[in-house]
Copies of this chain bind each other. A is one copy, B any other.
Amino acid sequence: MQNTPPEQTPPCHCHGGFIAEHDHGPCVNHALERAATLCRERGVRLTPQRLRVLELVWRSSRPLQAYALLEELRVQQPTTAAPIVYRALDFLIQQGLVHRIESQNSYAACRHPDAVHDGQFLLCTHCGRAVELESRPVSEQVRAAAEGVGFEVSQQTLEVHGLCPRCQGGPQHG
């Protein structure tokens, strides 16, 4: 455990957990570089538009809705229209770089896009923050339960609503 690591690629230590504030910039940069690498390896194009959307989703402390993203894109390019956002999101979701949160019509950056996995989110009803649970055992048990009734699983989504650690015990915070 040294102090600040030197010039190595800065590891993302936020992992989307309900943790104290930190300088999120390096996490974002690291994530974007990782995404670029993944897309290059897969032979798909992480175009500037898609990269921009991914960056916005990563920078946000909580899931963003499509039209909120659109507004942000319009700051730099006021003519941008809805299909731009939805196309970029479609791509990013396909590539596993973003998850859609069904119960909120919102979109969150995937914290571990390297391995394919199911969408599992803990959603704080007070502060609006979301963290990926990403519990393999839960996925497995769901799959087992489904197969137990003869159902062939292709995809699963879990969305858990409640209070994050910071928002428990009293109506403070934001």
Residues of A within 8 A of B (CB): 17-18, 102-103, 122, 124-125, 131, 133, 135, 137-138, 141-142, 145-146, 149-165, 168
- In the bound complex, how far is the Cα of B159 from the Cα of A156, in angstroms? 6
The complex is assembled from copies of this chain, and their number is 2
- When A and B form their complex, which 5 residue pairs have the shortest distance between CB atoms, in order from nearest? A150-B165, A102-B102, A153-B162, A152-B163, A154-B162
Give the chain B neighbours of A153 by CB distance below 8 A: 160-162
Give the chain B neighbours of A151 by CB distance below 8 A: 18, 122, 124, 131, 160, 162-165
* Chain A contact residues, majority secondary structure: mixed
On whether the beta carbons of B157 and A103 are closer than 8 Å, the reply is yes
Q: How distant is A13 from chain B, measured CB to nearest CB, in Å?
A: 16
